[in-house]
């Protein structure tokens, strides 16, 4: 995982990524959010602000 992955915020499937308590599920949602944003054409630097 990228060291700045905790900077990823937002909602995935109706759940706020930063509010997930289970560390494994939070990492999965980080990756899901990252893939969604990359698919929309956003740059990695913008996502990991």
Domain boundaries, the chain: 5-47
pLDDT at 49: 64
pLDDT at 6: 80
Cα 13 from Cα 32, distance rounded (Å): 10
> Among 31, 21, 40, 23, which Cα is nearest to 1's?
31
Question: What is the CB-side half-sphere exposure of residue 45 using CA atoms within 13 A?
Answer: 0
Cα 13 from Cα 41, distance rounded (Å): 19
Residue-wise pLDDT tens digits, 1-42: 778 778 888 888 888 988 899 999 999 988 888 888 889 998
Q: How far is CA 35 from CA 3, 13, 32, in A?
A: 17, 13, 5
pTM of the model: 0.72
């Amino acid at each position: 995982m990228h060291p700045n992955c905790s900077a990823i915020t937002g909602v995935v499937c109706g759940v706020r990524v930063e509010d997930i308590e289970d560390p494994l599920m939070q990492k999965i949602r980080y990756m899901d959010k990252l893939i969604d944003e990359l698919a929309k054409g956003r740059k990695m630097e913008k996502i990991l602000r």
